[in-house]
Amino acid sequence: MRIDSDAFDTSESSLRLPQPRLSEASFHGADGTKITGLTDERLCQSIGTRVLFTFRSGGVSSAPYGSLNLSYTVGDADADVRENQRRLLSAFGAGEVDGLVQPNQVHGNEVLVVDDVAETQRLARAGADGIVCTKAGVPVLLCFADCTPVILVAPDGSFAVLHAGWRGAIADIAGIGLRKLAEQASCSPADCNCYIGPHIGGCCYEVSRELLDRFLDEYGPDCDAGSRRLDLSAAVSASLVRAGADAARIADSRLCTQCNTVLLYSYRAEGGVTGRHGAFAYREVD
């Protein structure tokens, strides 16, 4: 595997996670395929846990799903989705597609913990919106096209991948996922790195007055982006801080899907027929 990325600093103490930072990078599989997205290279170098918010390039899907659609539920050809997932896993030596944990996302706040992989895959197919994984060698993927992807990482390399659409966000999935990860990893929530991936931003996300007021009541005035627009980053960040996260350990991509359809999929901008980019995490085997 080869990576093209900005230089990174590895001088920070190995007793703590490096401060979270997302930057664009490209990864190359052994077959020459290329996956691009946002990652934290210092984190991976420090503890061997890879986090990645994928961009839409590098796959085989045809329009309107072009090209790295990672979801089977949007009408794309299954064979193309499987090849796209294979390319993603191949870029990180993360095993075969059949070993991937990928839940059927149902816009709730159910967070599963990986114990037995096959059993977790079965439960995930029944519906869940978050996965906590303490095991090395188990790749986890959730899919998005405007909703908010969240990845959390504990100092021991354990991680959580969460789907926070407005329903999940108002139901505190980010806080639930952080508390569950900290419990499983035997650490403080304040020690975890928190990553908020690309999603529809407050610049574009116009909602009803009733829904905006619900978020203001739950998470405070920072959720109001003006003109009835909702800032999901503010809501997710507030949920994480309320669960014990250190605000200085929340890295937000600040990349709006609706404004950036060349890079990312957007359900709203593309009329409801489009692919899904991914939030991916994988802890390398020692």
Q: What is the mean pLDDT of residues 247-269?
A: 98
- 219's enclosing H/E stretch is helix 209-219
Residue 210 has pLDDT above 70, yes or no: yes
- Cα–Cα distance for residue pair 131/159, rounded to 1 Å: 8
Q: What is the mean pLDDT of residues 127-154?
A: 98
What pLDDT was estimated at residue 4? 37
Structure tokens that stand for 231 in this block? 């800032």
3-class secondary structure, 59: coil
Q: What are the b/e assignments for 168-205, b being 16+ CB within 10 Å?
A: bbbbbbbbbbbbbbbebbeeebebbbbbbbbbbbbebb
Q: What is the CATH number of the domain that holds 79?
A: 3.60.140.10
73: in domain: yes
21: in domain: no
248: in domain: no
Q: What is the mean pLDDT of residues 222-251?
A: 98
- Cα–Cα distance for residue pair 279/197, rounded to 1 Å: 8
11: in domain: no
Residue in the block written with tokens 């990864």: 27
- Cβ(18)–Cβ(51) under 8 Å? no
Contacts of residue 196, Cβ cutoff 8 Å, sequence gap at least 6: 148, 149, 150, 233, 236, 237, 250, 251, 252, 253
pTM across the whole model? 0.94
C-alpha to C-alpha distances, 270 to 87, 146, 182, 275, 277, nearest whole angstrom = 25, 11, 37, 10, 14
- How many domains would you assign to the chain? 1
68: in domain: yes
210: in domain: no
Q: What is the mean pLDDT of residues 224-253?
A: 98
Banded model confidence at residue 14, pLDDT cuts 50, 70, 90: very low
CA 120 to chain CA centroid, nearest Å: 18
213: in domain: no
What pLDDT was estimated at residue 259? 98
> Mind listing the pLDDT tens digit for each residue in 212-221?
999 999 999 9
Q: What percent of the chain has pLDDT over 70?
A: 95
Respond yes or no on whether the N-terminal peptide bond of residue 67 is cis (omega within 30° of 0): yes
Banded model confidence at residue 6, pLDDT cuts 50, 70, 90: very low
Residue 195 has pLDDT above 70, yes or no: yes
Residue 117 has pLDDT above 80, yes or no: yes
The closest alpha carbon to 265, from 33, 89, 54, belongs to 54
Q: What is the mean pLDDT of residues 128-154?
A: 98
DSSP readout, 129-166? Answer: SEEEE-STT--EEEEESSSEEEEEE-TTS-EEEEEE-H
What pLDDT was estimated at residue 286? 78
The closest alpha carbon to 25, from 49, 41, 9, 48, belongs to 41
Residue 10 has pLDDT above 50, yes or no: no
What number of other Cβ atoms are within 10 A of residue 26's Cβ? 17
> Mind listing the pLDDT tens digit for each residue in 80-109?
999 999 999 999 999 999 999 999 999 999
Q: What is the mean pLDDT of residues 160-185?
A: 98
Residue in the block written with tokens 């809501």: 235
135: in domain: yes
C-alpha to C-alpha distances, 183 to 134, 169, 174, 214, 238, nearest whole angstrom = 11, 21, 14, 29, 20
What pLDDT was estimated at residue 249? 98
- Cβ(81)–Cβ(71) under 8 Å? yes
What pLDDT was estimated at residue 30? 86
What pLDDT was estimated at residue 15? 58
Which domain does 142 fall in, by range?
A: 29-200+256-283
- Cα–Cα distance for residue pair 182/83, rounded to 1 Å: 34
